Amino acid sequence: MTNLPKHCTSIFRNSPRRTNFALMLLGALTIIAVPAAQAQTFTVLHTFTGGQDGGNPWAGLTMDGAGNLYGTARYGGSNGDGAVYQLKRAGSGWVFNSLYSFAGEPDGALPQNRVTFGPDGALYGPTAAGGTGSGCSGGCGTVFKLRPSPTACKSALCPWTETVLYRFTGHPDGAGASGDISFDPAGNIYGTTGNGGFYDQGTVYELMPSGSGWTESVLYSFFSENPSGGVILDKAGNLYGTTTSAAPVVYQLTYVEGSGWTRTVLYNLTSNSEPFAGLIFDRLGNLYGATAGGGSGGGTAFELSPSGGDWTYSLLWSFTNFSNDTVCGPWASLVMDAAGNLYGTTACDGGIGYGSVFKLTPSGGSWTYTSLHDFSGYNDGAHPTSNVVLDANGNLYGTTRSGGSQGYGVVWEITP
């Protein structure tokens, strides 16, 4: 994979562009550790075809104030290099719009992370390949901005306008964007690359507006591990993220005047944990994360709490692995609702082995697991590696990277 460690073995290896993801025959196990939630309604909102609409969305969705959904498809589009799409509410239904198709060079290719709304209301995001960087086969990736056309749209298709903010070159600035991007209050962008940098192990970078363009700065170059899930910021401007390697960690980057950015390891995760997912904060400043492996074999959800200048690790849940793969747990960041419940997806856990949507509920100092949906690998999709997003009514939305009636993944909704 473009932004994952070379040692990682997974059923989710890259397939050629414009080709279907093969669905693994994992054997339909009937043993379910906990009961599924009752009265949940699962609906497929869109089935990808691998054509103009895109195919195989690795990333989850972003929601605007009107409840419209935005996402990326790693493949497909008019050029086969991936696409950005919108699902717009229309009465009781949804209308799918293709917003932009990547062309590889010079605008980017293989978008595999979410798009994010910036302070100006535009969509921002990274691509794992494409651009014009000569240090990588197929390009080293880009950071892009999308805006609606300034003129009124008079056709059914309303493409948006792309501006490339930065094209990575591999060394020393990084290659292969990994994880979602973040903004600070001044509008600067922060993100990670899974490769490139001074030691070819990835970077944490910052993009700052400069005149009519943007200037990139490498805040940290990794030399023995690969960052994978982007970074988040606290109120003081410190950055937090995870790495995947033989010795994965949760880390903090702190700016020290005169010395630059300093990395501190907050916690050493187990060697087989593969924390592809990024981190989130709760209102008290506790960190929550997830791992695709480790635990009892199917990944974990965990919490890190600040305590006297140190951090205390708590295992919230250890997922059960129902397949033979080593990275079946959550690949994307968890989401917390106002009541403190956590939501996420697993890539190939669940009662059938094609992934699941789950809820973790705090209860008396422990956590209760509820399966909201187990994917079958057929029309409902397979192998979600996305986050979930919640609307004001408690409905959940996400994607699967394969399955569906066409085999190229789906966008789904779960209503309580």
Residue 243 and residue 266: Cα distance in Å, rounded? 12
Q: What is the pLDDT of residue 287?
A: 98
CATH for 230: 2.120.10.30
Determine the structural domain holding residue 127 and report its residue range: 102-268
Burial class (CB in 10 A: 0-12, 13-18, 19+), 246: exposed
Q: What is the total count of domains within the chain?
A: 1
Give the list of residues 6+ apart from residue 338 with CB closer than 8 angstroms, or none. none
- Alpha-carbon span 177 to 314, nearest angstrom: 29
- Position 126 scores a pLDDT of 98
Tell whether the model's pLDDT for residue 8 goes beyond 80.
no
> Average pLDDT over the chain, rounded to whole?
89
Note whether residue 383 is domain-resident.
no
Q: Let me know: does 152 contact 133? Beta carbons within 8 Å.
A: no
Counting beta carbons within 10 angstroms of the beta carbon of residue 388, is it exposed (0 to 12), middle (13 to 18) or buried (19 or more)?
buried
Q: Is the pLDDT of residue 45 over 90?
A: yes
Band (pLDDT 50/70/90 cuts) for residue 377 is: very high
Q: What is the C-alpha to C-alpha distance for residues 371 and 317, in angstroms, rounded to an integer?
A: 13
Mean pLDDT of 167-186: 95
Largest CA distance in the chain: 60
Report pLDDT for 383.
97
Q: Does residue 152 register a pLDDT over 60?
A: yes
The mean per-residue pLDDT over the stretch 349-354 comes to: 92
Whether 364 maps to a domain, the answer reads no
Lowest mean pLDDT among 122-126, 128-132, 324-328, 351-355: 324-328
154 band by pLDDT with thresholds 50, 70 and 90: low
98 CB-near residues (< 8 Å, 6+ apart): 52, 53, 54, 77, 83, 84, 85, 157, 159
- Please report, rounded to a whole number, the percentage of residues in the chain having pLDDT higher than 90: 79
Instruction: Kindly list the strands in the beta sheet with 123-127, ordered across the sheet, starting from the edge strand earlier in the chain.
Output: 116-117, 123-127, 142-147, 161-167
**Contact between 384 and 400 (Cβ < 8 Å):** yes
Q: How confident is the model at residue 128 (pLDDT cuts 50, 70, 90)?
A: very high
For residue range 265-301, what is the model confidence (pLDDT) as tens digits?
A: 999 999 989 999 999 999 999 999 999 999 988 999 9
Name the token pair of 110.
Answer: 């293989």
- Over range 10-29, report the average pLDDT: 33
pLDDT per residue over 98-107, tens digit each?
Answer: 999 999 999 9
Give the distance, in angstroms, between the CA of residue 103 and the centroid of all CA atoms in the same chain. 22
Band of residue 157 on the pLDDT scale cut at 50, 70, 90: low
Asked if residue 22 belongs to a domain, the reply is no
Asked whether residue 405 is domain-assigned, the answer is: no
Does a structural domain hold residue 18? Answer: no
Instruction: State both tokens at 376.
Output: 């079958």
**Distance in angstroms (rounded) separating the CA atoms of residues 71 and 58:** 9
Q: Which two tokens stand for residue 384?
A: 């979600």
HEC-encoded secondary structure of the chain = CCCCCCCCCCCCCCCCCCCCCCCCCCCCCCCCCCCECCCCEEEEEEECCCCCCCECCCCCCEECCCCCEEEEECEECCCCECEEEEEEEECCEEEEEEEEECCECCCEECCCCCCEECCCCCEEEEECECCCCCCCCCCCCEEEEEECCCCCCCCCCCCCEEEEEEECCECCCEEEECCCCEECCCCCEEEEEEECCCCCCCEEEEEEEECCEEEEEEEEECCCCEECCCCEECCCCCEEEEEECCCCEEEEEEEECCCEEEEEEEEECCCCCCCCCCCEECCCCCEEEEECCCCCCCCEEEEEEEECCEEEEEEEEECCCCCCCCCCCCCCCCEECCCCCEEEEECCCCCCCCCEEEEEEEECCEEEEEEEEECCCCCCCECCCCCCEECCCCCEEEEECEECCCCECEEEEEEC
| pLDDT bracket for residue 114 (50, 70, 90) | very high
Q: What are the residues facing 129 on neighbouring strands?
A: 109
Q: What is the pLDDT of residue 308?
A: 87
CB atoms within 10 A of CB 256: 8
Give a yes or no: residue 361 inside a domain.
no
Q: How many angstroms separate the CA atoms of 324 and 298, rounded?
A: 10
Give residues with Cβ within 8 angstroms of 107, minimum separation 6: 130, 131, 142, 144, 162, 164
Q: Is residue 246 part of a domain?
A: yes
Assigned domain for 415 exists: no
pLDDT value for 156: 56
Measured CA to CA, the distance from residue 316 to residue 101 in angstroms comes to: 40
Mean of pLDDT values over 48-52: 97
pLDDT of 123 over the 70 cut: yes
